[in-house]
Chains A and B, each alone.
Chain A
Amino acid sequence: GAGVSQSPSNKVTEKGKDVELRCDPISGHTALYWYRQRLGQGLEFLIYFQGNSAPDKSGLPSDRFSAERTGESVSTLTIQRTQQEDSAVYLCASSPHVNADTQYFGPGTRLTVL
């Protein structure tokens, strides 16, 4: 079956604009995760969803970042008033449930804020 998909694959925006990043998890996976990866660095956890609920939002770097999930499926990560330091690859992953051993990653969205 299909893996995790993300769109767009690349996004270039101007400082101050809002952006929306989309993640389509593997069908039937109830857990969904967002990570950020700055150039040359490891992944930073942002937020996870169990179903449509986000029990842990502690990784969101500021109140400019928000995420939602609907229908226990697609998730959208929104960054408002983008800043240059938001430039990174945003990776989404899903797993059958929150305590599953393995997370399955999408290809990521490369965000560049000019």
Chain B
Amino acid sequence: LAKTTQPISMDSYEGQEVNITCSHNNIATNDYITWYQQFPSQGPRFIIQGYKTKVTNEVASLFIPADRKSSTLSLPRVSLSDTAVYYCLVGEPGANNLFFGTGTRLTVIP
């Protein structure tokens, strides 16, 4: 079971790029890396998923080094509305043994 480790909290000023790193030393060959965002009083929302190298969508980028033991979620030019908790998950599609963890609380400061 691949568990993840993330910083508990981070602060950033508006307009800056934010990088949140997740460690997953026990990642298995078939595991994918997925990030979710959760705003207060809402359920988590899928942001991005990747297997290796780099994935980019309209919201974020995901960087995964060759050994895949960590990953970095990059949020470009954050705004106040990006204040949320960000969760990193690792698991095999179709599997049902996964650990959500406590996430990283990002606070964007004006």
A and B part of one assembly: no
**Residues of B in contact with A (beta carbons under 8 Å apart):** none
